[in-house]
Homo-oligomer: A and B are copies of this chain.
Amino acid sequence: MNFNTLTATHISDLKAMVSEDRFSTGESVLKLHAKDQSHHRGCRPEAVIWPQDTAEVVAILKYANANQLPVVGWGSGSSLEGNPIPVQKGLVLDFTQMNRILDVREEDFQVDVEPGVVYQDLNEHLKNTGLFFPPDPGARATVGGMIANNASGTRTVYYGSTKDYVLKLKIVLASGEILEMGRRVAKTSSGYDMPHLFVGSEGTLGIVVEATLRLAGLPEEFSAAVVTFPSIEAASKAVSNIVRYGLNPAALELLDASCIELFNKEKALGLEISPTLFIEFHGPSMAYLSEIMGMTEEICKETGSLAFNPGLGREARNRLFEARHELGEMITRAHPDCRIQVLDAAVPMSTYPEIIALAKQAPEETGIKGYAFSHAGDGNLHLCLAGRKDEKGDWDLIDQIGQRLVSKAISLGGTATGEHGVGIGKRKYMLDEHGNSLAWMKRIKALFDPHGILNPGKIFP
């Protein structure tokens, strides 16, 4: 695809579509929209527009489509695989001003939102209803970005991913056509499942301008434990058994000793420096939770746990998960001369100890500092690798580690990305993972966006 560079005419035409203060070509604005939180090289767009309603999005897309200008949707820039980096320049549509919570229907367990709503703000808004939107990617992500990447996180093992909560979408296609898909019902078997085609499509098929989300009931009670193990292999075996015995944890996070060291350093948590599981259960009563926790303790002991500390109060639990959510930043701070790459892959549960072993061994063999942590309960692994900014040698090694780990995950029947999306970094694995299905994804892309203006350079190799 060839794209046009933004001309003075384009600029004046686009400016006229929104109010003056919602169009910018200012250097600092362009810089802020050049890069997400990934290690990928940034690229400045030529202009940033803050739409406030569907009609504006329609007008902008129609114009961009007619003038062959690339368009990328932007939430909070918290993605980790370069997903919204405007690699072909063009326009960024920043949705932070299109962030209304349109309707809460408590009795239906549903909410209608605009894409710019930050999910923590949504849950804050919902707190007196007893309902919440469970996917918990950690960063201050927008719902639009979460839908684009099918985001998930610590609670997914129990509550599912974003895709499990999207009932209905209003989408603007590249042509400017508005498409409503899905229904406000708990179940339907009516025609093709269009919403699920758009969830996780990373803004390459259309732009979400409204979503109806299903909500879950807030749990009555919770119970959390911290468990330490002599090795990451033993911890991962415990994970596999907890899942196998159907204990349904609401969070099952594995952290290696390096991560725990950072927690103690930055948060003074005073944890044993050893491979560790954070385990949480949600349930209707404390009696039930103690029963489940007892079974969990037994399983952990069988795989050689060193210490099992249950009964964390809400405050201690929140401090742990806050630390967990800040881990990426802690690693960055611990290596001021380095860039950090986060690897993300997922495998079938039975092969989890195998991928964890490789995540430990591969960095050790190369001398690159690695931090392994993961949403272990759903077979999802993250490995943070620190490479010195200008040392090509480090980055070649990091590439090799990434290649080994992701190829291994795929060969185990797994996926190149459990939750960060394909973005830029995982494109090279797509053929290996999807075979000839990839060609059909491309045909679907061409059907919905024939000029290829929507988030070009992503997903497809």
Q: Which residues of B contact A105 (CB under 8 A)?
A: 348, 350
Judge whether B185 and A418 touch: CB under 8 Å: yes
Q: Please tell me which stretch of A4-12, A260-268, A409-417 contacts chain B, meaning at least 4 of its Cβ atoms lie within 8 angstroms of it.
A: A409-417
Judge whether A421 and B189 touch: CB under 8 Å: yes
Q: Which residues of B contact A188 (CB under 8 A)?
A: 346, 415, 417-418
- A187 in contact with B106 given A192-B444, A436-B177, A443-B447 (CB within 8 Å): no
Q: Please tell me which stretch of A62-70, A148-156, A363-371 contacts chain B, meaning at least 4 of its Cβ atoms lie within 8 angstroms of it.
A: A148-156
Segment 378-437 of A: residues with Cβ below 8 Å from B: 378-380, 413-422, 426, 430, 433-437
A interface bracket (residues with beta carbon within 8 Å of B): 35 or more
Q: Which residues of B contact A413 (CB under 8 A)?
A: 183-185
Q: How many copies does the complex hold?
A: 2
Q: Please tell me which stretch of A28-36, A41-49, A281-289, A297-305 contacts chain B, meaning at least 4 of its Cβ atoms lie within 8 angstroms of it.
A: A281-289
Q: Which residues of B contact A189 (CB under 8 A)?
A: 149-152, 161, 200, 415, 417-422
Q: Which residues of B contact A177 (CB under 8 A)?
A: 436
A246 at interface by CB-CB < 8 Å: yes
User: Contact mask A106-148 → B, CB, 8 Å, 1/0?
Assistant: 1111100000000000000000001000000000000000000
A329 at interface by CB-CB < 8 Å: no
A66 to B414, CA, bound (A): 36
Known: A179-B437, A185-B346. 4 other contacts (CB 8 A): A107-B349, A110-B348, A192-B444, A444-B447
- A435 in contact with B180 given A189-B417, A416-B190 (CB within 8 Å): yes
Judge whether A183 and B414 touch: CB under 8 Å: yes
